[in-house]
Structures are given as structure tokens and as C-alpha cells.
A and B are shown apart, each in its own frame.
Chain A
Amino acid sequence: MKKNLFYKIFFSYLIIICTSFLLLALFMRDEIKDVLTSQIETELLSYAKLIDQTSPEKASERLSEVAQTSRSRITLINAQGRVFADSESDVSKLENHLNRPEVQEARLKGTGKAVRFSNSLGIDMLYVAVSVKSGTAITGYIRLARPLHDVQTVIEKVCQYILLTLFVVALISLLIALFFSYRLYEPIKAMERFTERLREGKAAGTIILDTADETKTLADNINYLVGELRDKINIANEEKSKLMTAFTSMNEGVLMINAQGVIEFVSPVLSNMLSVRYEDVCGKTIMEAFRSIDLQKAFLEFKSRSENVNREIVLGGTEPVILSVSISGVHGYPEEEKTMIVFHDVTRLKKLEQIRADFVANVTHEIKTPLTAIIGYLETIKNGAINNVEETKKFVDIILKQAERLNRLVEDLLIISNIEMKETKLNFNDVSLSAVITNVIALVEAKAKSKNIAIHNNISEKFAPVKADRDKLTQIFVNVLDNAVKFTPDGGRVTIDAREEGAFRVVSVRDTGIGVPGDEIHRLGERFYRVDRSRSRDLGGTGLGLSIVKHLMIAHGGRMHIESQYGRGTQVSLYFPITPFQTS
């Protein structure tokens, strides 16, 4: 950069200077030569006039004297061209001079001159000839010759001076070039460094220059632009962070799709919502990312109608997520139409809805079944069976049984609702698990024996007691053990174990029963939920047992966990906290 700028300035100076001096030297040389030659010529002519022209003999006498003063060679020539006197050479050796150009000129004009290179002296000589006349007839010629030493010297001198000046001026121009290039270079370099830093995205600040020329204006403009840009970036960043905060804090996940149908943006909430099932979905089409027919159909519908589309979509295979999806266009991109999809996870909502609907359906069904029986038998009695005492007794027994069942159902419902409303007071005591379970086993033993089921109690009497309400604890185990016996086919086995696991004492009841399908395990705590409706009602029970256990465990600060293999057996684990929180 510096080199370039410097050379540009320096060489342009140099070329201008050199050309001007060369031209000057060329013109001066000729001019000086002309002036000096004509000066010498005049001088020589006046010397010639000094020589006595009347008699050649007299002239010859003073010839050497004049020659010395005039620092020239003087030759006297007669009309025929023969030299008869010469200040330097021997006359006899000289040839006829009539053909010399200066003599010829003198013959015609009176005076003549010529410049010739003298072989004998090796220098340019100036010859001046004057014709000597007597009357009109030419009687002879006087020729003076002087070497042009002086002219040569002067010209050389002038050339030397010119060269010297040239050198000095070139030197000065070099300095000037250095100075200017430096003056230009510094601000340009500063701006270059500045823009370079900007390009790399570093904080650049502002350029400060101490110049006052155009570079200053340029720097000011750059500073202004950078400031503008920084403001714009700040505004954009602020907008972006606002948007991201909104995207992060709201429950809905947001997805942006460009005109090519490729996903461009996924909000953090959505990637959280889907991270379990889907990997990075950016850069894929929605079909690639979700492989959902419903979503694709909704998207295509939006594309064809350009109207907002709202849809409920199920994503994921084994553990489906129900999403309320709304698709809308994003405006403000003139180049291409983008699409925004907002996902709202409604799985929980749907589940609650389902539970509520199921509950209402179940509770009516559960109440209606015994009621239908009661009403039916009562009608039969009323319509005449009352007279048949034997029959009536049988019917009344059935009616009583159904009424008891109804009563049990209502009681169970009350228990759950009381626990849920936190109206049940729990009396926390240290309760020995082994004692409680021994009692409970005694209650279910008869039933187990009839089905030939062995119950193994592996809890040692020394196992640490748990903080619990004794009656409720009994209720919990009655329900769990009763279930285990109920759903285990003849000849099966029920095993009870206890262990400590972290902050919990865990009792697990394992049976070799019919098990529960994997996708239904999480519904087991629901009220009235039955895996196989027809069968479990045959086995008696209200469908509320596990629900009561679940709620009682929660009231104890613990939890219930069920693992099951369909067709192989079920294990119910009850987690009692070692240090329970006190429920008010």
C-alpha cells in the first residue's frame, strides 16, 4: 500500500522533472552554440578587418601578432586560391584553398563562414573568410580559423549544471513524494485497519484522524455509517431477544418454514417438547422431520387455501403427544412466503378430559348396574313373587348384596374424595410393616387358599417401621394384596418384599398374575379404570382399589409404582418416605 502510493507519486514527479530538463537541455544546447558561434564570427571578422588589406606583404608581417591576439589561425589567400601566408602552417605545404566553402562564400558575398571538423586538431573549427578587393576586383582572401573550444566547454558546463539541478530536484521530489505518500497513507491505513476489524466482527470504536482533508471526511462518513449500523444491529438484537424471550416463556412451540418447505427455525420450547422423539429438525421438510400424515395434510391445506389452519394432531408412536397445531403465514418477506406453525401440547388436557368423561360414564354405569338389579328384583317381588316366601328370600338376598355393593362403591368414592379434599386426618405413628402385613395376609388367606395361591412374606420383623396411619396402611395393603390374589390364576404365587431405597422404604408385592399391557400401566390409578372390563367386574370390586391406594400413598408423602409384563405378572411397589412431610 505504502510502496504503491509512494512510487506513484515519486515516479510521476520524476518523469515530469526529467522530461522538462531534457527538453531544456536540448533547446539550450543549440541556442548557446548558435549565439556563441555568431559572437566568435563577429569577433573574427573584426580581426580580419584589422589586417592591412592593401598589401599582402605588410599583412604578412603582422600576421603572427594579430593571430596571437585573436587566438586564431590566419591564412592569407590570393585571388587564385593559393596560400601565400599562414600563421601556423608552412605555406608551401598547403594546397589551393579556393574550393573551401568559406572562401567561395566570400568570393560571392564578401564574407563567408563555415564550421568544419578539423582532423588535425580533432575539434570543430570555425572558418571565416573575407575577400580583399581593390576596386571591384578581388585580389585575395583573408581567412581566420578558431577552434570552437569555448563553445564546447560552455555547453558541457551548462549540461553539467542541468544534470546537477536535475539530481537535486529529483532528491527534493523524492522527499516530497515520501511526505505526501505518508500523509495519505496513514489515514487510509487507519481506515483500512478499522474496516478490517469491523469485518471480523470485533468492537471497532471510531476512527480518529488528525487530518483535515478529504480523508477526514471519508473517515467521518465511515464513523457515521458504523454508528448507524451498530444502532440497527442493536435494535435488531433487541427485537430478537424480545422475540426469543416470548418464544421461550410461552407454552406453545413455534416452527418456521420457508418457501421451499424447509424448517428454518424451531423455538426452544418446541425443541424441548419434541427432543425426546425427534432430533434436530432444522433444515428438513416437515415430512422428513415428523413423518406425520395429519401434519402434512394440514400444511398442504394451508398452502392451497392460504388460510389459517387449526388442527389437532397426534405425534409420536408409542408415547403419543397430542398437539393443537395452528398454521399461519408470515408476512413481511416480499421475496418468499414463510409459514409459521404453533404447537400447543394438549396431551394433559386431553387426558384429563378423557378421565373426566370416563369417570362420569363409569360412575353412572357402576351405580346403574346394582340399581337395575335391585329395581328388577323389587318389581318381580311386587308383581306376585312376594307370595312365594322362598323365592322372595332369595331375591331379597340378592337385593341386599347389590345394595351393599352400591354402598361399598359410595364409601370408596367418599374415601377418595375425602383424601383428595384433604379432609382425611392421618394419625402418623411408627408402624411395623411386618405386623400390618401379617394381619392383612390373614384377611386374604382364605381367598388365596381357595385358588391355591401361595403368599410369601419376606419382610423381616426387624425391618424399620414406617411413619404412617395404621388403619390407612392396612387399607392400602388390603387393596394391593386383594388385587394380587384376584388377578393371579390358580396355583400362582404372591411375594412381598421390603427394602430401603434412597429416602424411601419400599414394599413391593409381586404376583404371577395376568399382568397389564404396557400402554395401560399409567392409567391404573384412575378411578374405575379396568384393563379388562368384563373380567374384573366378575371378580368383584368397585374399580376404585388402586385409585384409593394411589391417593393414600400420596397423602403419606409417598407414591405407588407399577411394573408389569402382560401375561407374566405385576409388581406393585409402594414408596414410603423415611422422613414424611406432615400433611395438615
Chain B
Amino acid sequence: MSEKKHTSKHYEMELQEIKNNLIYLGALTENAIHLAMKSLTDRDTAMANQVIANDYEIDKMDKEIEEKCIKMLALRQPTAIDLRFITTAIKITGHLERIGDMAVNIAEKVVQLNEEPKLKPYIDLPNMSSIVERMVAKSLDAMIKKDLQLAEEVRRIEQEVDDLNEQIFRELLTFMMEDSKSIHRALLIMHVSKNLERIADHAQGIADMVTYMITGENVRHLAKDEN
């Protein structure tokens, strides 16, 4: 009896550790997006370089979580919600790692942008970035709190980001048509916007996985079709 209790306690702790690591990875990527976008608005190349340099930490954590999940699957044979949690964790860490890479992409573009004069004051981009950051934060919150409503909210916000991306694209197009010298910078900014939009997609992916974890219902491609 005491042996069994001990085992389950251990099991519980291992699950909790995976969860903690996942949140840690989430916080790292959140931070990376935030710093990348801040380096853009503040024209801070050092900060952008820091984001690029810190990506190894995200990659390391990604690998670590995946290994832990696989070990857990192999040794503990989890069932029901635990099984869903672990498979979900594997997918979520994949999403988070991709988000981290996109933050790096943004930071790389920022480094290039800072070499040239400012094209225009950023208005929609910080707006978009704050929405995307909120989406990532909400999808992580949904995972931590196992909150279906939050996951649903993330899916709703995604549309806003798509619209903003469109708007930024049109605005940059006018800049490019007016002045061919601005094309390089405009394209870089477009890259940033595109990456933000893809981060939003990954945030939605996380939200979908959270929904699957809670209900066991796969909403992934359903949601995409509706949009």
C-alpha cells in the first residue's frame, strides 16, 4: 500500500515537472516575442541579437520536454487525461519551439532594419504584436488552468491578427509604390508581420491542443475550415 502511494506520488511529480517545464518554455517564448518586438520599436540591435542568442535555451527546453514525455509514455503507460496531456505536451512544445524560431526571424529582420533609417512610425505592428502576445499568453493560461473558454477566446482573436496582417500589407504596398527605395525595408517589415501572423497560428494550434486535452475532442481542422 505504501509502495503504491509512493509510486503514484512520484508519477504525480513527474507529470507536474513536465507541466512546469512546459510553462517555462512558454515563458521563454513569450519573452522572446516581447523582446523581438521591443527591439523593433526601440530600434535596439543589441536586444535583437540577444533574442537570437537566447534561442538555444528554447531549443534545449524543447528537447528536454520531449524526452521527458517519451520516457513517461514508455515507463508509466499513462491513461485517459494523463495520456492526452502528455501527447498534447509533445505537440505544444513543438508549437512553442516554432514560435521561438519566429521570434528569432523577427529579431534577424530587426537587425537589418536598424541598419537603415526608419521607414515610418510603427502603429499597427505594435498593435498586432500586443494582440499576438496576448494570444500566446492566453493559450498558455488555457493550458495551465485547463480553461476551455480561454482556448475558445484565442481562436476568436486569431481573425483580428489576420485582418491586421492584411492591413499592414496594403499599407506597405502603398509605401513601395510611392518610393522604390523603401521596398527593402517594407519587405522586411512585411516579414515581421508575416511572422507575427504565423505565431498567432501557432498560438491557435496550442489552444486547439488544449481543447483536445480537456475534452478529448479534436477541433483542429474544424476550426480552420470555419474560418
Chain A residues, Cβ within 8 Å of B13: 260
A-B contact pairs, 6 of them (CB 8 A): A260-B16, A288-B144, A292-B27, A293-B27, A317-B137, A517-B126
Q: Decide if B126 touches A296 in the complex (CB within 8 Å).
A: no
| Complex-state Cα separation, A566 to B144, whole angstroms | 34
Q: Does A268 contact B (CB under 8 A)?
A: no
Closest-by-CB residue of A relative to B21 is A287
Option from A285, A291, A567 in Cβ contact (under 8 Å) with B121: A567
Within B7-27, which residues are at the interface with A (CB < 8 Å)? Answer: 13, 16, 19-20, 23-24, 26-27
Chain B residues, Cβ within 8 Å of A288: 19-20, 23, 144
Chain B residues, Cβ within 8 Å of A317: 30, 34, 133, 137
Q: Decide if A291 touches B27 in the complex (CB within 8 Å).
A: yes
The 8 A CB mask of A286-313 against B (1 = contact, 0 = none) is: 0110011100100000000000000000
Closest-by-CB residue of A relative to B9 is A260
Q: Does A584 contact B (CB under 8 A)?
A: no
Closest-by-CB residue of A relative to B12 is A260
Option from A285, A296, A318, A517 in Cβ contact (under 8 Å) with B16: A285
Q: Decide if B123 touches A291 in the complex (CB within 8 Å).
A: no
| Complex-state Cα separation, A291 to B145, whole angstroms | 12
Q: With both chains docked as a complex, state the minimum distance between the C-beta of A314 and any C-beta of chain B, in angstroms.
A: 10
Q: Does B28 contact A (CB under 8 A)?
A: yes
Please, how many residues of chain A have a CB less than 8 angstroms from a CB on the other chain?
A: 17
Q: Does A419 contact B (CB under 8 A)?
A: no
Q: Decide if A291 touches B140 in the complex (CB within 8 Å).
A: yes
Nearest 3 Cβ contacts at the A-B interface: A567-B123, A287-B20, A287-B23
Q: Does A261 contact B (CB under 8 A)?
A: yes
Q: Does A514 contact B (CB under 8 A)?
A: yes
Q: Decide if A514 touches B16 in the complex (CB within 8 Å).
A: no
The 8 A CB mask of B120-143 against A (1 = contact, 0 = none) is: 010100100010010001001000
| Complex-state Cα separation, A285 to B28, whole angstroms | 17
Q: What interface size band does chain B fall in?
A: 20 to 34
Q: Decide if B27 touches A261 in the complex (CB within 8 Å).
A: no
- Report which B residues bind A (CB closer than 8 A): 13, 16, 19-20, 23-24, 26-28, 30-31, 34, 41, 121, 123, 126, 130, 133, 137, 140, 144
| Complex-state Cα separation, A287 to B144, whole angstroms | 10
Q: Decide if A514 touches B121 in the complex (CB within 8 Å).
A: yes
Q: With both chains docked as a complex, state the minimum distance between the C-beta of A231 and any C-beta of chain B, in angstroms.
A: 35
Within A533-567, which residues are at the interface with B (CB < 8 Å)? Answer: 566-567
The answer to whether A566 and B123 touch (CB under 8 A), given A288-B19, A288-B20, is yes
Chain B residues, Cβ within 8 Å of A284: 144
Chain B residues, Cβ within 8 Å of A285: 16, 19-20
| Complex-state Cα separation, A318 to B129, whole angstroms | 12
Closest-by-CB residue of B relative to A289 is B144
Q: With both chains docked as a complex, state the minimum distance between the C-beta of B103 and any C-beta of chain A, in angstroms.
A: 14
Q: With both chains docked as a complex, state the minimum distance between the C-beta of A574 and any C-beta of chain B, in angstroms.
A: 27
Chain B residues, Cβ within 8 Å of A293: 24, 27-28, 31
Q: Decide if A318 touches B130 in the complex (CB within 8 Å).
A: yes
| Complex-state Cα separation, A567 to B168, whole angstroms | 14
| Complex-state Cα separation, A567 to B130, whole angstroms | 16
| Complex-state Cα separation, A293 to B29, whole angstroms | 11
Chain B residues, Cβ within 8 Å of A566: 121, 123, 126
Closest-by-CB residue of A relative to B134 is A317
Q: With both chains docked as a complex, state the minimum distance between the C-beta of A302 and any C-beta of chain B, in angstroms.
A: 16
| Complex-state Cα separation, A285 to B126, whole angstroms | 32
Chain A residues, Cβ within 8 Å of B41: 517
Q: With both chains docked as a complex, state the minimum distance between the C-beta of B65 and any C-beta of chain A, in angstroms.
A: 13
| Complex-state Cα separation, A260 to B16, whole angstroms | 10
Q: With both chains docked as a complex, state the minimum distance between the C-beta of B33 and any C-beta of chain A, in angstroms.
A: 11
Q: With both chains docked as a complex, state the minimum distance between the C-beta of A38 and any C-beta of chain B, in angstroms.
A: 76
| Complex-state Cα separation, A284 to B23, whole angstroms | 12
Chain A residues, Cβ within 8 Å of B31: 293
The 8 A CB mask of A186-226 against B (1 = contact, 0 = none) is: 00000000000000000000000000000000000000000
Chain A residues, Cβ within 8 Å of B20: 261, 285, 287-288, 296
Chain A residues, Cβ within 8 Å of B130: 318
